[in-house]
């Protein structure tokens, strides 16, 4: 069986607006501009699309897993069901240890095993350094989006998912 290429996606700040607080209510869940177009472009070019998201508010009792799943369904509906899988780490460091929670890499490891993913052909798009740390642990290249961090020489940084998708496709054609 041929290995597949994948773009792993953090959720808050990459796919939907980061509110600075937990995003779990449907009325607060706003898909960012150009996300559906970016996902369509990546899918058209043969990438699996897998969301990997920390949702520590579940462990803290702020919201339920069903709230997260409802947001994921809204995302799927808005983006034409392009996302192949959603992985969620509901733990929080204050209440439980979890290897799934980024910067640990268990969510990515599970997806790599289940979908026969080639890490060398895959990418992680996140808005936090912990997203890139998780990717690095499994040999996946990372791209930082948004403006939380000053641009660094050691990481690729783009404005949003659309720019990241363009970069990924340019690198795939031009070689890395």
Instruction: Tell me the catalytic residues.
Output: 10, 12
**Residue keyed to tokens 């929080």:** 92
Name the residue among 70, 83, 89, 73 with its Cα closest to residue 35. Answer: 83
Report CA torsion sign: 26, 28, 29, 33: positive
Q: Name the region of 20 (left: φ>0; alpha: ψ -120 to 50; beta: rest).
A: left
Instruction: Report the alpha-carbon distance of residue 106 to residue 109 in Å, rounded.
Output: 5
Give the Cα separation of 30 and 78 in Å (integer): 10
| Residues 6+ away with beta carbon under 8 Å from 25 | 63, 67
Q: Distance between CA atoms of 8 and 84, rounded to whole angstroms?
A: 10
Q: How far is CA 7 from CA 62, 119, 169, in A?
A: 29, 10, 11
């Amino acid at each position: 069986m041929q290995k597949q290429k994948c773009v792993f996606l953090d959720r808050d700040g990459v796919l939907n607006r980061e509110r600075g607080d937990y995003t779990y209510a449907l009325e607060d869940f706003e898909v960012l501009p150009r996300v559906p177009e970016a996902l369509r472009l990546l899918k058209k070019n043969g990438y699996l699309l897998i969301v990997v998201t920390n949702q520590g508010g579940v462990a803290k009792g702020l919201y339920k897993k069903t709230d997260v799943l409802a947001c994921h369904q809204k995302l799927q509906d808005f983006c034409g069901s392009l996302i192949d899988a959603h992985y969620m780490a509901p733990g929080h460091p204050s209440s439980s240890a979890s290897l799934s929670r980024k910067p640990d890499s268990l969510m990515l490891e599970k997806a790599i095993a289940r979908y026969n993913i080639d890490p060398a052909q895959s990418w992680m798009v996140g808005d936090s350094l912990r997203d890139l740390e998780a990717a690095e642990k499994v040999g996946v290249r990372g791209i930082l989006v948004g403006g939380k961090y000053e641009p660094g020489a050691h990481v690729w940084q783009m404005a949003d998912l659309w720019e990241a998708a363009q970069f990924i496709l340019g690198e795939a054609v031009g070689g890395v």
